[in-house]
Amino acid sequence: MLLIAVAAVRISSRSGLPSLLLYLGIGVAIGQDGIGNVAFDNAELTQVIGYAALVVILAEGGLGTKWKEIKPALPMAVVLSTVGVAVSVGITAAAAHYLVGLEWRQALIIGAVVSSTDAAAVFSVLRKVPLPTRVTGVLEAESGFNDAPVVILVVAFSTVGPVDSWYVLVGTIVLELAIGAAIGLTVGFLGSFGLRHVALPASGLYPIAVMAIAVVAYAAGAMAHGSGFLAVYLASMVLGNAKLPHAPANRGFAEGLGWIAQIGMFVLLGLLVTPSKLVGDFWPAVVIGLVLTMVARPMEVLVSLMPFRIPWQEQALMSWAGLRGAVPIILATIPMVSGIEGSQRVFNIVFILVVVYTLVQGPTLPWLAKALKLGDSSEAADLGVESAPLERLRGHLLSVAVPAGSKMHGVEVGELRLPPGAAVTLVVRDDKSFVPGPATVLRRGDELLVVATDPVRDATERRLRAVGQGGKLAGWLGTGGATAVAAPPRHLRRPHKPTKKGTRKRTSG
């Protein structure tokens, strides 16, 4: 199963189909309606394994989240994860009740379940699509934060008996989020402090310790009646930005565990569903999904981001990028375990909705970003290379592309004027690589490998972005933003000579 799933990733990367759909297909294929004829209907076991997999996926996502990208997006992500979720639940539940004819409890459960964007889907898709850092930061933070309030709502709606009043639900959500955030940040800071000051006897122990700390954050948050999902995400984000020893290996290990978690979770969900029972719920799922995608999600983004004055192009992309995946399907098992009437139909509708609209949204997201002129393939990306010299020098290996339309075309390597401590070490052109000299002229389609020490890593990225937007004179003529201003070459600098007091010395430019 693992070998087939690994091969499926290659197929999905070439075809543009999200890998989660292929994993679900594998589960369905070996199920009782497929060629494997495996009978499986244990919703409780699926829920437990799904929660465990989600912990690993959130930990992997948190370790790969850059604080400098997510920091300005935090207020927007918090509003989207609270106020936005309420808007989405209300609109979707109303559609399920009035358009499909579901009872209010079932409609509210569906509205809550599908209002959560899936961390696995968002992390896997967005990191393949070059988007502005603000958009990526908001979407990643939202997918990490909104699981907590949604789980609370689904559990409340799935409780046998009357549902708590709205103010009780709001108070519970706020309290659990506060407890989870406090525990996650505390565990993350204590864990990073310990790993920086305790020398482990083998480098392979660091990735295990990092994942163990992340799981401890989830366990501590859950035992304290807080949000364990928020705790594990925040703790992992602190660990990922703490400049721990063997950081690339830590992320690589977490990524491998994340893939195993996704494979196991989606295959198990595919086993749980019975395709022959889905036919009658296909069109209700399509109708609810259409309202969710075209009305609820855009209204959620519009209402939540109204105070922040985000351009409409970015709001449109955020609306379309509200990807659903395994999380809604896992949450749909909660009413099944609780024995709520009609829970099987709720599960079927959620399953169909996720499959259909993931099939539509995932492959079209790069096209929409390009149509809205929000794609930026010239962004520098960190390459997770485990290297002793890089580790010792606190260095970063960046990959930079020169796309069509970039003003880096025609610029010599020496004219990039990278800060001291950064250098272009390799150029890949027409499938051939060579070491560039200062007079090497860059061309469209080139890919650069840039080595930068930690203190100048961000300045290097800003300078490369500025040259891509404004050419070799970026910063001198006001192009590339104020942060992209760089010092002129040494031979153009005019020596400073002190003048006598009370006199003025005039120089020509």
pLDDT in tens, 305-316: 999 989 999 999
Task: Work out the angle between the directed axes of helices 19-29 and 247-272 (0-180°, nearest 10).
Answer: 40
Confidence of residue 253 (pLDDT cuts 50, 70, 90): very high
Confidence of residue 377 (pLDDT cuts 50, 70, 90): low
Confidence of residue 456 (pLDDT cuts 50, 70, 90): confident
Q: Determine the pLDDT at residue 509.
A: 41
Q: Determine the pLDDT at residue 91.
A: 96
Q: Say if CB 460 and CB 373 are below 8 A apart.
A: no
Calpha distance 90→419 (Å, rounded): 52
- Residue found under tokens 């950064």: 422
Long-range contacts for 246-250 (Cβ within 8 Å, ≥24 apart)?
Answer: 246/203, 246/206, 246/207, 246/386, 246/391, 248/384, 248/385, 248/386, 248/387, 249/203, 249/204, 249/206, 249/207, 249/386, 250/63, 250/206, 250/207, 250/210
Q: Determine the pLDDT at residue 482.
A: 39
- The helix (H) or strand (E) run that includes residue 248 is helix 247-272
Residue 366 in this model has a pLDDT that exceeds 90: no
Find which of 94-108, 113-127, 389-403 is predicted with most confidence, using mean pLDDT.
Answer: 94-108
Euclidean distance between the first and final Cα of the chain, in Å?
70
Which of 207-211, 439-443, 452-456 is least confident? 452-456
Q: Determine the pLDDT at residue 222.
A: 93
Which of 271-275, 293-297, 349-353 is least confident? 271-275
Residue 230 in this model has a pLDDT that exceeds 70: yes
Q: Say if CB 413 and CB 442 are below 8 A apart.
A: yes
Calpha distance 303→84 (Å, rounded): 7
Residue 491 in this model has a pLDDT that exceeds 80: no
Which of 28-37, 65-74, 106-115, 391-400 is least confident? 391-400
Q: Say if CB 427 and CB 448 are below 8 A apart.
A: yes
Q: Determine the pLDDT at residue 232.
A: 95
Q: DSSP class of residue 100?
A: S
Q: Determine the pLDDT at residue 92.
A: 96
Which of 40-49, 280-289, 346-355, 466-475 is least confident? 466-475
Q: Identify the architecture of domain 11-371 in CATH.
A: Up-down Bundle (1.20)
Task: Taking residues 414-420, report their average pLDDT.
Answer: 89
Task: Taking residues 336-353, report their average pLDDT.
Answer: 90
What does CATH list as the number for 381-486? 3.30.70.1450
**Count of Cβ atoms closer than 10 Å to residue 477 Cβ:** 9
**pTM for the complete prediction?**
0.76
List, as one string, the DSSP characters of 158-198. Answer: TSSSPPPPHHHHHHHHHHHHHHHHHHHHHHHHHHHHHHHHS
Is-same-fold flag (11-371; 381-486)?
Answer: no
Q: Say if CB 374 and CB 310 are below 8 A apart.
A: no
| AA identity, residue 503 | T
Give the residue extent of every domain in the chain.
11-371, 381-486
Calpha distance 267→21 (Å, rounded): 10
Distances from the Cα of 199 to the Cαs of 187, 229, 245, 281, 428, in angstroms?
19, 29, 9, 57, 38
